[in-house]
Structures are given as structure tokens and as C-alpha cells.
Structure 1
């Protein structure tokens, strides 16, 4: 067995700062979304890729992959949003085993109303704290960390149906 490579004080501080900043930033952005738009972070997470997709529709499995969610979580969230009229499920015309999620007019109105404040919050909490050079460095570093992670798709479970 190999010996554990414990974090030194500098590394531990960096890791804790990253972890805490991610947690607090996520919490504040979600609380602000709810307070200012009535949308949850989960609502926004699904509405955003739908609002930027062609015709406001995505295959369910592609929507799940875009947010990194498991099939069960995605299905429950889409059901909640469907009841509120933000999205609609449809059959996939090209594959009877698949399904589609479509942004409704109410969903588009909700994301369009929420997006300006959300973007302002991201700017205030992140981008305004960094110079352009620091933003470029951080992007490069995060891209490097992301590229070094094991390639996997946690959302894809091959159950033989070919889709979610």
C-alpha cells in the first residue's frame, strides 16, 4: 500500500478556501434566485440550457448530461417544473424510447426575468473581485483541473432503453 500524501498547510488552506467559497457562493446565488425570482437553483439549472437550445427543447438525456444530474433527480425536478408550467415533456419523434423536455412560454418568461439579476450577482460576487488577468488565470486553472478528472458520465445508466 502506498503512503498517503497528506496536504500541507498551504494546500489545506487552498482546498478549504475553494470548498468554502464554492459552498457559500452556491448558497447565496440560490437564495438570491428564490428571493428575487421565485426560481430555485435547480429550476434555473434546467431552464438555462433549455433557453439557449435550438427551439427551447432538449432530449432528456442531453439535459441531464448538461447539468450532471442522475436520471432520478432530473425526472423529479422536471415533474415539479412541469406542474408549475415551466416545461413540458414530449415524445422524441426520432426515437420512441427517448423523451424531450421543452421550455414553455412561462418557463422562458421566468428565465428571462431571473437572468439579469443572476448575472449581476455572479459579476458582483466573482468577476468584480478579480482583474481580467486573474479571470483568465482562474479559467485556465479550472480548465486544467476539469481536464484532469476521470472521464465519466454519472447521468448515463445503460438500462437498455437507450434514453432516460
Structure 2
């Protein structure tokens, strides 16, 4: 009978010890995971800033982006919105179309965005300035714009 009681006590003590170790391991992993994720997000953020050129485009580079007067009939029935200010684009407003991805925005909105970041606000593709600004719309040239 004493062996049965001793076996039961040892079994309960062993299970309690395993539960305690399990709880300590879970707490350790969670604490390490949170601090590691914060460190990792900081490192990834710094890496993204370095990849994006850290500072954005210069005033001259922003000025070289293709600019035109917005025409609703070319954008389709929906018209479109500027992804920076979230306002609708209206006929006659000055718009910039990014060369690589073709996304269009209000000229002022995307200019302020691109001076801070070299990435398109919609697709996060790097904006590369090809050459001098091409003015369209004033001379009747039509430009297709992808709006979101």
C-alpha cells in the first residue's frame, strides 16, 4: 500500500514538474519572440529605407516625371482616385503618371510623396526617372493612366 501511495505522489510530482517546465518554456519563447520581432522589424525597416534610397527623389527628378491634364474619358467610367490624398481625379487637373508602373496621381500629391520615398504609393515599385518631363494634354496628346 505504501508503494501505491509513493507511486501516485511521484507521478503527480512528475506531471506538475513537466507542466511547470512547459509554462516556463512558453513564457521564455514568447518573451524572446516579441523582442526578436521588434529587433527584426527595426532591421527590416532600416533595410527597406536603404533599398528605397532612404531619401526619395530630388525636386528635379520629381519635375522630370511625365505630367498631363487628366481626362475622365480616357480613364474609363469610374474616373479614378488619387491613392495619396484619396480624392477623385477631375477633368483638367494636373496629374503625374509613374513611368514603370503607369499609376496616376495628382501632381502635387505624388510630388510630396516621392520627395520622401522612391516607391510608388500603390504597387511599391521603385520610381525611376527616365528623362526630361513630357508634357501631355496641353498639346492634345492622349495618355492612358491606370488609376486605383
User: Taking structure 1 as the reference length, what is the TM-score of the superposition?
Assistant: 0.25
Return the structure number with greater helix share: 1
User: Taking structure 2 as the reference length, what is the TM-score of the superposition?
Assistant: 0.27
